[in-house]
């Protein structure tokens, strides 16, 4: 074991990695004292920003500063997994982005405000769930169907195939 001991509260001990000309490259720091929260801090060098924190491991979890990149994956590798048995998986398979719930429960999308499913550019709404109100369905960003307190509202014609009774 390599032991690096903190001798006062002013200095954070760690390991520095330097480049060929002695320039800063990366740091691994230890921040904490006996009886307090201990953290490992990983810093990297970028030309634009110099040395900056990229990743921090704390007693309650981890924090990424910047972008966490996971390569294309599948249900068996390269995914972000959540739950004891990775019941929730999020990944991109090279063609599609997938959120997969494989546990015994349901997949919930929850918000104290509206829930909107739309294009990435935010220019087109497909489905909108209004908090404490309607569910709206859109066609090419034009609302066509909406639930109301008394039933439903439809904009345009209603076409039914095989319906025998509309009472």
Mean of the per-residue pLDDT values of the chain: 87
Read off the pLDDT of residues 79-134 as tens digits, 9 standing for 90 and up.
Answer: 999 998 999 999 999 999 999 998 888 999 999 999 999 998 878 999 999 999 99
Question: Cα separation of 68 and 64, whole Å?
Answer: 7
Dist. CA 142–CA 154, nearest whole Å? 12
Task: Tell me the CA distances in angstroms from 35 to 28, 32, 63, 130, one per residue in order.
Answer: 21, 8, 22, 48
pTM > 0.75: no
Tell me whether residue 126 is exposed, middle or buried, using C-beta atoms within 10 angstroms of its C-beta: 0 to 12, 13 to 18, 19 or more.
middle
Q: Long-range contacts for 71-75 (Cβ within 8 Å, ≥24 apart)?
A: 75/100, 75/102
When pLDDT is averaged across residues 9-25 and rounded to a whole number, the result is: 78
Q: What pLDDT, on the 0 to 100 scale, is given for residue 100?
A: 94
Q: Which pLDDT belongs to residue 80?
A: 94
> Which residues pair with residue 91 across a beta bridge?
98
pLDDT of 38 higher than 70: yes
Whole-number Å distance between alpha carbons of 124 and 121 = 8
Closest CA to 143 of 160, 126, 130: 126
d(CA 53, CA 27): 9
Query: Could you say which DSSP state residue 159 is in?
Result: -
pLDDT of residue 153: 94
| Token digits of residue 72 | 């294309």
């Amino acid at each position: 074991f390599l032991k690096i001991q903190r001798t006062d509260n002013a200095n954070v001990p760690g390991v520095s990695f330097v480049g060929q000309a002695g320039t800063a490259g990366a740091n691994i720091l230890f921040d904490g004292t006996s009886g307090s929260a201990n953290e490992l801090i990983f810093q990297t060098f970028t030309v634009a920003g110099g040395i900056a924190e990229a990743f921090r491991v704390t007693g309650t979890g981890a924090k990424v500063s910047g972008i966490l990149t996971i390569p294309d994956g599948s249900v068996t590798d390269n995914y972000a997994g959540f739950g004891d048995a990775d019941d929730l998986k999020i990944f991109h398979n090279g063609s599609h982005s997938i959120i997969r719930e494989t546990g015994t429960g349901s997949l919930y999308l929850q918000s104290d405000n509206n829930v909107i499913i739309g294009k990435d550019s935010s220019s087109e709404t497909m489905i909108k769930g209004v908090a404490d109100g309607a569910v709206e369905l859109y066609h090419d960003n034009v609302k066509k169907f909406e639930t109301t307190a008394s039933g439903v509202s439809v904009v345009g014609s209603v076409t039914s195939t095989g319906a025998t009774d509309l009472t």
